[in-house]
Amino acid sequence: MRLPFTKMQGLGNDFVVLDGVRQTLALDRAQLRRLGDRHFGIGCDQILLVEPPTRPDADFRYRIFNADGSEVEQCGNGARCFARFVREQGLSDQAEIRVETARGLIVPRIEADGQVTVDMGLPDFTPAALPFIADTDLPLHPIEAAGERFEIGVVSMGNPHAVLLVDSLTSAPVERLGPALQAHPRFPRQVNVGFMQIHHRGRIGLRVYERGAGETLACGTGACAAVVSGIRRGLLDWQVTVETRGGELSVRWAGPGQPVAMTGPAVTVFHGVIELD
């Protein structure tokens, strides 16, 4: 089958975006993995599928698949690219769109300067929301992995995140600890692992070893999770600039009961057609 696609990126986190509005798409796991494969396919961190909504208060449905073919609940950098895609494809002329995800509505808005702001909804710290096996909700949970003991913050942004504080991102044990924590038995559906270095109360550095994709240049939901975890621990102010390997993101959270707002770029790289068997 000849499948048109658009290649996009948000801070170097890259996506294959598919129009499931003008055509009905039903891709199996092998086909999704082919799209994500950087040698035998197109190559990306995630595949984003744009579909008509299934609920009356949404304009579109947003489905996200990691490069390994697993379907997941949320993708922050992808949400900004989603908004740019539907605008550029003429699927919507609204500045603000209501997007149905597996975990509720998010609302991206294209700003006058071309950046995209997304209301990412409310963070959820309860272990059951991730899921994470723990007795109760704590700002920090002790955990053992790769033969060492750590303390992690756990946050669901729809998808699960574990956040570790490190003194330096350059020496952070991402390659060793990322895989060990991602697949830790206390995370039955695995987890995205964020390594956060605090520069000051308004600026952090972040590296994320993503579930289903490995380390990416940026992770939008990971940035939201790291900031709200830091705010909850009294280490950060309500507005934080997040330095990722792919560039900077702004994250704002006014506290419990409030949604998280994220602002950053969304770039269309090229359009193409892949021969998919």
Ligand X SMILES: N[C@H](CCC[C@H](N)C(=O)O)C(=O)O
Indicate whether 192 belongs to the interface with ligand X (CB under 6 A).
yes
- Cβ proximity to ligand X: between 201 and 214 the closer is 214
Q: Parallel, antiparallel, or unpaired for β 203-210 and 239-244? A: parallel
201 or 268, CB closer to ligand X? 268
Applying CB under 6 A, among 159, 182, 197, 244 the residue interacting with ligand X is 159
Q: In 90-205, which residue ranges form alpha helices assigned H by DSSP? A: 174-182
Q: According to the binding rule CB under 6 A, does residue 121 interact with ligand X? A: no
Determine phi and psi for 48, rounding to 5 degrees: -115, 130
Q: Looking up tokens 């699960």, which residue turns up?
A: 160
- Told to check if 210 binds ligand X by CB under 6 A, we report yes
In angstroms, the CA 241 to CA 209 distance is: 19
Q: Is there a catalytic annotation at residue 219?
A: yes
What secondary structure letter does DSSP report for 245?
A: T
What is the pattern of x (binds ligand X, CB under 6 A) and - over residues 30-59?
A: ---------------xx-------------
224 among known catalytic residues: no
Quick check: 184 binds ligand X (CB under 6 A)?
Answer: no
CA distances 59 to 62, 84, 100, 221, 243, Å, are: 10, 14, 8, 21, 32
Element (H, E) at 109: strand 104-110
> Which of 194/230 has CB closer to ligand X?
194
Near ligand X in 214-253, by CB under 6 A:
216, 219-222
Question: Total residues at the site for ligand X (CB under 6 A)?
Answer: 21
Catalytically annotated residues? 75, 219
